[in-house]
Amino acid sequence: MKSLLSLEKLAAPEFTRILQDAVRFKRERGQHATQPLAGQTWALIFSKSSTRTRVSFEVGIRELGGQVMFLNANDIQLGRGEPIKDTARVLGRMIHGAVIRTYAQSDVEEFAEYSRVPTINALTDDEHPCQVLTDIFTFEETNGPIAGKVVTFIGDGACNMPVSWIFAAAKLGFELRIAAPKEFQPAPEILARAGGNIHCTTDLDAAAAGADLLYTDVWVSMGKEAEAADRLALLKGYQINARLVTLARPGALVMHCLPAYRGKEIDAETFEAHANTIFTQAENRLHVQKAILNWSVS
Ligand code: CP
Ligand code: NVA
């Protein structure tokens, strides 16, 4: 029984196992030899909106033999203030695993501790581990091992997506560059904890030069809506567009975790030019999360 709460806590051999298993889960979709979640009921407990994460986990749990229930956090007593540790102790006596999307990282950690069932972080303010595992899988599917390659993240360098990239970099041995305004640079203590070959800059052209992968995410993450006007002003220009792509290695991949806001973090032309990669990323959530679910119950 294992939980995926953070990429910081995921050891390098476990990255490798999940990424390797995902190849098999993708190849064998519709004809899985084993049903590792047979007889199990999993809960999805979401406090924030979701399209990809919700659908890919619901489909994935069912295709691995499990039952799934979706709980909007506002529809259960959690939304009226029942402590997460009490919710966890109740659900832990009934369900076999939980997938949680919420604000505080401490909430998924507390749920795992008190429920004693496998708990998967489906996005917190701090991390989005399932997405970055999927992005690495998607890169390696077409480009081979990510070790030794250059990944450039452009945009809000302090939100959940770059933080999960930061914790993956040292473990998988790729160079990570983060181009962000000074107000949205990653926290120094996170960089210190992660180690690895990571360069943070305000200069997006320098960060993009020769990159193997250009990556971006929304400028206004869920929960930051009140800061939207300031963010749009400060992040203006930190965009993946046709000009920036010319600075990267020829044939470099462009990725976006979605949802995308054209004209902000990416321009419409570049988004459509790289739509095949971007929607393969979205599809791969299903395959990689099956590997995560299988790992969590083994
Ligand atoms: N990328 C991602 O997690 O998408 P959703 O917010 O739609 O789940
Ligand atoms: N940083 C974004 C990721 C969305 C998948 C957010 O938290 O809203």
| pLDDT per position as a tens digit, 86-142 | 999 999 999 999 999 999 999 999 999 999 999 999 999 999 999 999 999 999 999
32 is catalytic: no
The finding on whether 170 has its CB within 6 A of some atom of ligand 2 is no
- Terminal C-alpha separation, the chain: 6
For helices 12-27 and 160-172, the axis angle rounded to 10 degrees is 100
Atom of ligand 2 nearest to the CA of 257: 5
Confidence of residue 37 (pLDDT cuts 50, 70, 90): very high
Residue percentage of the chain with pLDDT more than 70: 100
| Amino acid 233: pLDDT | 98
Predicted TM-score (pTM) above 0.75: yes
Residue with tokens 């489909």: 59
Q: Facing residues of 44 across strands? A: 70, 99
Question: Which one is catalytic: 21, 40, 52, 101?
Answer: 101
287 is catalytic: no
| Amino acid 190: pLDDT | 98
Question: Which one is catalytic: 40, 131, 185, 239?
Answer: 131
| Amino acid 156: pLDDT | 98
Query: What spacing in Å lies between the alpha carbon of 257 and ligand 1's midpoint?
Result: 7
| Amino acid 294: pLDDT | 98
| Amino acid 40: pLDDT | 98
Query: What spacing in Å lies between the alpha carbon of 265 and ligand 2's midpoint?
Result: 13
| Amino acid 269: pLDDT | 98
Domains detected in the chain: 7-11+27-127 (3.40.50.1370), 130-281 (3.40.50.1370)
| Amino acid 6: pLDDT | 98
| For ligand 1, atom 4: residue with the closest CA | 52
